[in-house]
Amino acid sequence: MQQSSLKQLTLSSAFWTITSLGASQVLRLASNLILTRLLYPEAFGLMALVHAFAYGLQMITDIGAHSSIMQSKNAHNMAFQNTVWTFTVARGFFVFACFCVIAYPVSQAYGEPLLLQILPIVGLNAIVMAFIPTYVAMAQRALNLRRQTILELSSQVLSLLMLVALAYWLRSVWALVIGGLIAELLKLAIFTFCMPGKYNRLHWDPQYFKEVFHFGKWIFLSSSCVFLTNEGDRLILGLNLTTAELGVYSIAYMLAVFPRMFTITVGNRVIFPLCVHSPPAASAQNRARYIKARFAVSFVFVNASLAVAAIGPELIGFLYDARYHDAKLFLMLLALCFIPRIIMATSEGSVLATGDSRRYAAIGTTTAVVQTLLILLSVGYFGVAGVAASFFATSLITYPLVARVTRQHAGWVPWLDVGLLAYSLAVALPILYFRMDWAALLPVQ
């Protein structure tokens, strides 16, 4: 691929990725603001648990099928794509079965009988998502995201309208459950009929599956650990807080995680494909291009996270009623503690782009183990403050491993990492000193 063409595709992909995620988060926030006025905090706390288990089952059964299409030299072969799609469909039915199996023990563990009914219905989402055609992943591989972005946003607008209507009608957690299923069905229909490409059919090629499995066996381990990293806090807090309190925490987490989500999504859709087409280790020019992309993404979203922390209390007070005002300090602290992870997240695409899924899994596994242990040790003494501090400490503890692994693929840029962290601390410390009410962050009882 010519360098000028690659640059244009990268810039176009970055634009449409940021547009897609930005508009998605605006729609998500609008939906949240409307729903918090129609539903009670308990509904959001209950769905936080449901989403944690849903995300977990998706991740622990993931062997990197999507990433294999992005990375494989056989990606343009329909037999390869159909094999991946067939496996994904089978996995969708397996995940649904897992939802049915865990429904009763989970409902007993958390003392929420409704989970027995909700989890199997949410499990249907896994079946629907499994039928997404592979030409969606191929468009991402080619850094061609314009049509996909427009269709995704159209789907989300329609889903939002139906979700609000359901919430107004039902006034219960069932609006969120049914609305989620309708949203996945809409997305499948729109992608299937409105994107160009040849639809998949059931096909099994053992050789191609062997390739996917060889690449994805370490992704499986990494994905399982990513689940603990991203959702472990709510699973642990769910055993210590009421569903209403967990709902308030989930509101703060949703707003605080926006910059981090942007970083990861832009990394997956822009930096990862850039490293596939233009490996940083291949030439000084490639590495310069990679550093430029990393700095631009990291700098923008580090500042976004600092801004969220600075205006967090006012944001919660303006957007939500008094039932959710305990989220003010949670939001400020979480936004600041996510910053080291934002800086590190842009470097990991250089590892997976070369097919080094084993070392990529080592990063994910270490992060999950360290973070989970820190949360378990701190939550009883420091409550939500302990959880937030665990996010920050985990990033610092695992940084030497990330540096060692990314260095092997020319992805480590120490001056960028240290410089952004020092800048972030210089801005964050005054925010914490002048704005944080530490006495209000009482430990979980």
pLDDT tens digits, one per residue of 247-293: 889 889 989 998 998 888 888 777 877 787 788 888 888 899 889 98
Instruction: Supply the pLDDT for residue 392.
Output: 95
Task: Say if CB 47 and CB 179 are below 8 A apart.
Answer: no
Instruction: Supply the pLDDT for residue 216.
Output: 66
Q: Which of 97, 91, 95, 94 is nearest to 66 (CA)?
A: 91
Q: Is residue 202 part of a domain?
A: no
Instruction: Supply the pLDDT for residue 444.
Output: 41
Q: Is residue 390 part of a domain?
A: yes
| Structure tokens given for 32 | 């949240």
- Give the number of other CB atoms < 10 A from CB of residue 182: 15
- Low pLDDT (below 70) residues in the chain: 1-14, 64, 66, 142-144, 215-222, 437-445
**Number of domains within the chain:** 1
Instruction: Supply the pLDDT for residue 385.
Output: 87
Q: Is residue 211 part of a domain?
A: no
Own/partner long-range contacts of 278-286 (Cβ < 8 Å, ≥24 apart) = 278/1, 278/3, 278/6, 279/350, 279/353, 279/354, 279/409, 279/410, 280/350, 280/409, 280/410, 280/411, 281/354, 281/409, 281/410, 285/3
- DSSP assignments along 342-374, one per residue: HHHHTTTHHHHTTT-HHHHHHHHHHHHHHHHHH
With tokens 């996010």, the residue in question is 391
Question: Rounded to 5 degrees, what angle do the CA atoms 18, 427, 337 make?
Answer: 65
Instruction: Supply the pLDDT for residue 376.
Output: 92
Q: Is residue 188 part of a domain?
A: no
Task: Say if CB 368 and CB 428 are below 8 A apart.
Answer: no
Q: Is residue 91 part of a domain?
A: no
- Domain range for 246 is 240-434
Going 439 to 312 to 427 to 386, the CA torsion angle's sign is positive
Q: Is residue 442 part of a domain?
A: no
| Structure tokens given for 4 | 């000028």
Q: Is residue 373 part of a domain?
A: yes
Instruction: Supply the pLDDT for residue 221.
Output: 66
